[in-house]
Amino acid sequence: MLTLEGASTPRVESDAKRARKEKERLRQLSRINIGDQAGRWCAVKTELGIQTLGFFLQVFLTLQLVPLIYL
């Protein structure tokens, strides 16, 4: 039969272990969220870059083709 003193010691260790696991889980979750946000931001920047590139390409082609039309 376990005494009160003997039963409480492993419980304290498991509480500390549980607290470490929870802290690590929250840290990992935070890293995932930061990575997720960075991924979304990268996708937004890529989309804006593609739109900007398309605009400049359209302007460039228009400026190049205008003199050819009048020749």
What is the domain partition of the chain in residue ranges?
1-71
Distance CA 41, CA 50 (A): 14
Helix (H) or strand (E) holding 8: helix 4-70
CA distances from 52 to 9, 14, 20, 47, 56 (A): 64, 56, 47, 9, 6
Token digits of residue 44:
């937004």
Token digits of residue 55:
């605009």
The HSE-up count of residue 30 (CA atoms within 13 Å, CB side) is: 6
Token digits of residue 36:
């997720």
What global pTM score does this model have? 0.38
pLDDT at 43: 80
pLDDT at 47: 85
Q: Per-residue pLDDT for 5 more than 80?
A: no
